[in-house]
Structure formats: C-alpha cells, structure tokens
Amino acid sequence: MNLRALLFAASASCALSLPALADVRKGQEAKDFQARTVAGETLRLSSLRGKVVLLDFWASWCEPCKKELPLLARMAPRLKAKGIEIVAVNIDEEAKNATAFLKDRGLQLTVVLDAKQEIVKRWEPAKMPSSYAIDRAGVVQAVNEGFVEGDEGKIEKLLASLAGN
C-alpha cells in the first residue's frame, strides 16, 4: 500500500492508525529537501536556515487541511514580516488538485508539490495535517499533529517566540 492510500484510509480526522510512524520529532534536525513550488521555483529547506520555519504537510482531500491552510495563508504575510516562513508541502499525487485547491480559495503562500511523495516519506507525519516549527538552526522545536480550531493561535505564538518577537 502506498503512503497516499494509507493516508486516505485514515479516519475522518485524518489521523493515521499507526501513530508510531512519525519519524521527525522535536529536538531533531529538520530533514532537508529540494522541491518545486506551485510558482515554479525551486525551494531547498536548508536555504531557509537563519529563519524560523513552519513546515506544514497537507492534502486537498484532507478535511482538517481544508480548514487549516486558509488560516496559514492569512498568517503568512504577517509572519514573513517577522522573519518567519511558512512552507506548505502538498502530498496530492496529482499536482493539479493542489493548484486547483489554492486557486479556488485564492490562497497565496509558499507551497511545494510532493506528488512523488518523496518528502512526506522522509518526514512521515503521524496525521494530516502536521506542522513542524523549525528554529533558525534547522532544529524541530515543536510538532502539531492534526488540526483543530484554535491551533492557529498556538502555532503563531510559538513561531513568534522562536523568532524572538
């Protein structure tokens, strides 16, 4: 069974039945990757060292992701002004699903496409969506698995704290 099929078979909250899968945890160095953004640019995670980064894994078919991503898109410009980057990794097997989702909702933020699921296989988030707060040195300082209303405030406060704001 491929990773997308496993994620798709998850419960309505998009929680995986095997939470022990989570590979990248608090205190570990963020696993580097290079990927193409929906804007057609190449992004390397390590190129953001020196900045605080929120790395978020999402899919267009995941209900909690549909609620979280617009909130992250609204936060992105405000946080960018504070030296904080939000990078959303879309794991849809069809890139057109991600781009249609973003276009239909008018969302603008840095989204990398992981249609071959190379990034998500290296990070192995336990739930969809999952967000990783990465400090300036490239170390994961917190993991937010899943999404419920109110998480956005906690995430923003944590990121501001990591950035010294």
In a domain, 64, yes or no: yes
**Distance in angstroms (rounded) separating the CA atoms of residues 161 and 165:** 6
Least confident range of 18-22, 114-118, 120-124, 152-156 = 18-22
**pLDDT attached to residue 24:** 80
Question: Quick one: how far is CA 43 from the chain centroid?
Answer: 14
Instruction: Name the percent of the chain lying above pLDDT 70.
Output: 87
Whether the per-residue pLDDT at 8 is higher than 50: the answer is no
Domain containing 83 equals 3-10+26-162
Handedness of CA 110, 155, 31, 165 (dihedral sign): positive
For the residues 133-141, what does the mean pLDDT come to?
Answer: 97
Q: What is the CATH number of the domain that holds 122?
A: 3.40.30.10
Spatial CB neighbours of 137, under 8 Å, sequence gap ≥ 6:
49
Residue 25 has pLDDT above 90, yes or no: no
Residue 4 has pLDDT above 80, yes or no: no
In angstroms, the Cα distances linking 43 to 13, 72, 111, 113, 122 are: 29, 18, 10, 10, 16
19 within some domain: no
Dist. CA 76–CA 78, nearest whole Å: 6
Is residue 16, in this structure, part of any structural domain at all? no
Beta-carbon count within 10 A of 71 CB: 16
Pairing, β 52-58 against β 130-134: antiparallel
pLDDT at 155: 94
pLDDT (0 to 100) of residue 11: 34
Mean pLDDT of 29-53: 96
Which helix (H) or strand (E) segment is 39 a member of? none
Tokens (6 digits) for 56 = 């978020």
42 within some domain: yes
Question: Is residue 21 domain-resident?
Answer: no
Q: Does residue 18 lie in a domain region?
A: no
Tens-place pLDDT, residues 54-101: 999 999 999 999 999 999 999 999 999 999 999 999 999 999 999 999
112 is a domain residue? yes
Residue identified by tokens 């419920």 is 148
Number of structural domains found in the chain: 1
Q: Is the per-residue pLDDT at 14 higher than 70?
A: no
**3-class secondary-structure state, position 54:** strand
Please confirm whether the linkage preceding 129 is cis (ω < 30° from 0). yes
* 35 domain residue, yes or no: yes
Q: Is the pLDDT of residue 15 over 60?
A: no
Taking residues 153-157, report their average pLDDT. Answer: 94
User: Across all residues in the chain, what is the average pLDDT?
Assistant: 88
Whether 91 contacts 130, CB under 8 Å = no
Q: Note whether 43 and 82 are within 8 A (CB).
A: no
